[in-house]
Structure 1
Amino acid sequence: MKRTLEERLQAGPVVCGEGYLFELERRGYLQAGSFVPEVALDNPQALKQTYRDYMLAGSDVVLAFTYNGHREKMRIIGKEDLLEPLNRQAIRLAKEVAQEHPVEEALVAGNISNTNLFNPEDEDSKDSIRNIFKEMVSWCKEEGVDFVNGETFYYYEEAKIALEEIQNQGLPAVITFGLMGENILRDGYTVEEACRLLKEQGALVVGMNCFRGPATMQPYVEKIRNTVDGYVGALPIPYRTSAEHPTFFNLPDGGCSCSLPTETTFPTSLDPLYCNRYELAEWAKDAYRIGVNYFGLCCGASPSMLREVAETVGRETVNSVYSPDMEKHFLFGSDQSLNTANTAYKTKA
C-alpha cells in the first residue's frame, strides 16, 4: 500500500525533490526572469522526465510544478486563461510519474508559494492572496494530491493564510520559509517563532527552503529544531552562500572575466558558485544528526545532488546503481586489471 506522508515520516527521513525551476531553465524549457512553469502545457514530456529523474534519484514525493503558477504571475505574463489548465496538468503529470515508482508509489504534492503581493498594511492584498491559494488548493483537492507543499514564504502571515486554505480542503500541509538577508521574516517574526506558530496551528511539517545555501540555512534550521515539537524540513539551495552574502540574490563571483548582462550572478550566472555533492552530503549529515525529518534541495539542485542527500540520510535510491565508483577509472581506479602505465601517470595528468 502507498503510505501517507505522516506514516513515512514516522518511519524515518522523507526526501522531497525540489529545484525544478532552475533545472528546467537549464534544460531549455523555462524562461529565466518571469520563471513561470508553462512547461506543464508547452512541453509536458520534458516536465515528466524531470519529475522522473528526481524521483529515481531518491525523492519520495513528486511535487507538482506549480511554483509561480498562481493568478498574479499569470496576470503579469498575460496568460490568466491558462491558470487552471496549467495547475491541473502539472498535478496529473506528477500522478502519472508517481505511479511508475518500482518499489512504492511516490507521494504527489500540490504546490503553492509566495505571491509577492503580501502587504501587512493592506487588507485587500490579504484577501487577494487568500483567493489565490483557495483556488489552487481546491484544484489540488479535486486532482487527488496526497498533501500540499506551501513554500518560500518570507512573511509569516502569508504562510498562515496558505496553511488555513490547505486545512480548509482537509489536506496535510508542509510549510517552509525563505529567509532573506535580514535574517528575519519581513513582518518581524523570527523564522523559528513562525514555524512554532504554524506547527501549533496544524502544519504537519515546518521549516525552510530556498534563498540560502547549507552554510547560512543550517544555523536557523537548528533554531527551528530546538523550538518546534514536530517534523522539521530543510531544503537549501546548493550554492556557497556566506555570512557576508547569506542568500543567492547577491552572491558575487570574483573570478568572472566577462561583463554580466544582469546586476548580480542571480539567476543565470551562479554556475561557478555551486556546492559540490560532498559538501551537500556533509550538510545532510549535520541536519540528520540534529533531527531534521524532511530533506531536499531547492533551486539549482540536480538529481545527482539529491541522490547524494538521500543516500547520506540512509536511503538507497532506484538510481543508486549509478552512484560514483572510481574503482575502474582508467587513471584513478584501483582495479588490478587496469593498465598500470595509466594509473601510474595519474599524478602527471
Structure 2
Amino acid sequence: MAKRSLEQRLEEGTVIAGEGYLFELERRGYLQAGSFVPEVALENPEALKQTYRDFMNAGSDVVLAFTYNAHREKMRIIGKEDVLEPLNRQAIRLAKEVAKEHPTEEALVAGNISNTNIFDPEDPATGEKVRAMFAEMIGWCKEEGVDYVNGETFYYHEEAVIALEEIQRQGLPAVITLGLMGENILRDGYTVEESCRLLSEKGALVVGMNCFRGPDTMQPYLEKIRAEVDGYVAGLPVPYRTTEEHPTFFNLPDAGCSCHLPTETTFPTSLDPLYHNRYELAAWAKEAKDAGINYIGLCCGGSPAMLREVAEAAGEEAVNSKYSPDMEKHFLFGKDDTLSTHNVNYRGKA
C-alpha cells in the first residue's frame, strides 16, 4: 500500500499518535529523570528502536523521532552541545527504519521540537534564541526526510508561533500542541482555544493540546478548541487522574503514600499509583473522537498497552491487537466450557 500523508490520513479518519517516550524510556532504564534528555538515541539505539516499534505496533500511525528536549539549551545544561546534531539525526534515522517495518502501510515519521524553557515574552532576545534553536533542528528534519514536524508542549503562544513559522519555512506540515498549566491559561495570556485558532489560521495542519493534563482536565479544553477551530484538532493527555483541584500532573498528591518522597511532589518518579487504567483511557478516546478530535494519543506516562486500548476505542486495529485482553480461557475468570469447574467456582474466594 502506498504511504499516505498525514493530511490524507486525517481526511480519511482518525490518526493515532503514540508519544510518551520520555517516561517510558526512563521506566525501561535508559533515560535519567530530571534532566530528561534523549541521549538514548546515541547511547542505546536498539532500546529506542524497540520503544518506537512497541508504540507503532500498539496502533500509532506515526513514529515520532525522540528529540524532545534535544535542543541547544538543554544540551548546554548537561554539557553535551557537541552531540546535538548527531543525536537529532540518529533519532530520526532510527524512526525511519522502524516506520518501514509496519506490515500493512509504512508509518509516518515526524520530527519533533518542543518548549525550550527559555522563552520570555518580555525579552525579545529569547525569541531570537528560540528561533535559532528551532531552525537548526527543523533543518535537520528536512534533510533527513521527515513527513511532518510535531511542535509540542508549548505553554507560551508566541513560542508556538515561532515553531510554526520555522516549520513552514522548511515547507513541512506542522502539528502544534500546547501544554496548559494549572492557571488554565497560557503564560502569555492567551486561552488555549484562542491560541489554537490563531495557529490554525496561520497554517498549522493540526492544533491542540498535549501533556501536563489527564483526560478529565484536558477534554473540556479540547471541546473549546474544537468549537473555535475549523481544521484538525489533537488531544494527547497524560494517563494520570488529574482533577479540578490538581489539573496537572506536576502537583498531584498521593494520599496513600506512606514513605518519604525524594521530591516535593509525586512528579515525576512517584506517579505510579495515580494512573488511569486502560479502560478509562479508552472511554476518553471514544469521547474525544465523538467530540471531533482527529489526532488522538497519549503523552508522558502512556504505555503501548494503554495506547492500543486508545486506538481500538477510536475504531482502529493495531498490529498487536491480536494480543488484546481475552479472559475466555483464564483459569479463574474464563467461561470456556473445558475449564476446570473447581477453579472457576473458586474465583470469588481467590
TM bracket, shorter-chain basis: over 0.9
CA–CA distance in structure 2, aligned partners of residues 8 and 86 of structure 1: 29
CA distance in 1, matches of 2:286, 2:59: 16
Give the corresponding residue for 1:65: 66
The letter for the 2-side match of 1:121 is E
Which residue is 1:279 aligned to?
Answer: 280
Distance 1:287 1:15 in 2: 12
Per-residue Cα deviation, 1:187-206 (whole angstroms, up to 9, x for no partner)? 00000000000000000000
What is the rounded CA distance, in whole Å, between the counterparts of 1:101 and 1:288 in structure 2? Answer: 24
Q: Indicate the residue corresponding to 1:95 in structure 2.
A: 96
- Counterpart in the other structure of 1:315: 316
- The answer for the alignment partner of 1:118 in structure 2 is 119
| Paired amino acid for 1:26 | R
Q: Give the SS at the match of 2:250.
A: helix
Q: How does 1:51-62 map to 2 (within 5 A)?
A: 51-62=52-63
Q: Which amino acid in structure 2 is aligned with residue 71 of structure 1?
A: R
Residues 96-175 of structure 1: pairs in structure 2 closer than 5 A: 96-175=97-176
Deviation at 1:152, TM superposition (A): 0.1
Distance 2:345 2:253 in 1: 39
Displacement, 1:74?
Answer: 0.1
Distance of 2:285 and 2:63 partners within structure 1: 20
> How far 1:34 sits from its partner (Å)?
0.3
- Note the C-alpha offset of 1:17: 0.4
The C-alpha deviation readout for 1:40-87, integer Å capped at 9, x for no partner, is 000000000000000000000000000000000000000000000000
2:94 partner letter? L
CA distance in 1, matches of 2:191, 2:272: 31
Q: Normalising to structure 2: TM-score of the pair? A: 1.00
| Match in the other structure for 1:193 | 194
The letter for the 2-side match of 1:154 is: Y
CA–CA separation in structure 2 for the residues paired with 1:285 and 1:16: 15
Instruction: Give, as a single letter, the amino acid of the residue that structure 1 aligns with 2:231.
Output: G
Deviation at 1:315, TM superposition (A): 0.6
Return the letter of the residue paired with 2:73: E
Using the alignment, how far apart are the partners of 1:127 and 1:268 within structure 2? 34
Secondary structure of the residue aligned to 2:103 is coil
Question: What secondary structure is seen at the aligned counterpart in 2 of 1:149?
Answer: strand
Cα separation, 1, equivalents of 2:262 and 2:7? 45
Supply the distance in 2 between the matched residues of 1:76 and 1:126 (Cα, whole angstroms).
19
Q: How does 1:234-253 map to 2 (within 5 A)?
A: 234-253=235-254
**1:135 and 1:263 mapped to 2: Cα distance?**
36
Query: 1:213 aligned to 2:217?
Result: no
Task: State the alpha-carbon separation in 2 of the partners of residues 124 and 289 from structure 1.
Answer: 43
Q: Give the partner amino acid of 1:299.
A: C
Match of 2:38 in 1: 37
In structure 2, runs of 5+ residues without a counterpart are none
- Report how far residue 138 of structure 1 moved: 0.1
Aligned pairs, number: 349
Give 1:14 shift. Answer: 0.2
Corresponding letter in the other structure for 1:270 = L
Q: Whole-Å Cα distance in 2 between the matches of residues 121 and 316 of structure 1?
A: 47
Cα distance in structure 2, aligned partners of 1:194 and 1:262: 33
Q: What percentage of aligned pairs have identical amino acids?
A: 79
Q: Which runs of 5+ in 1 are unaligned?
A: none
Q: Displacement of 1:13 after TM fit?
A: 0.1
Partner of 2:256: 255
Residue of structure 2 equivalent to 1:16: 17
* Counterpart Cα distance in 1 of 2:309 and 2:245: 27
Report Cα offsets for 1:300-349 as digits up to 9, x if no partner: 00000000000001111100000000000000000000000000000000
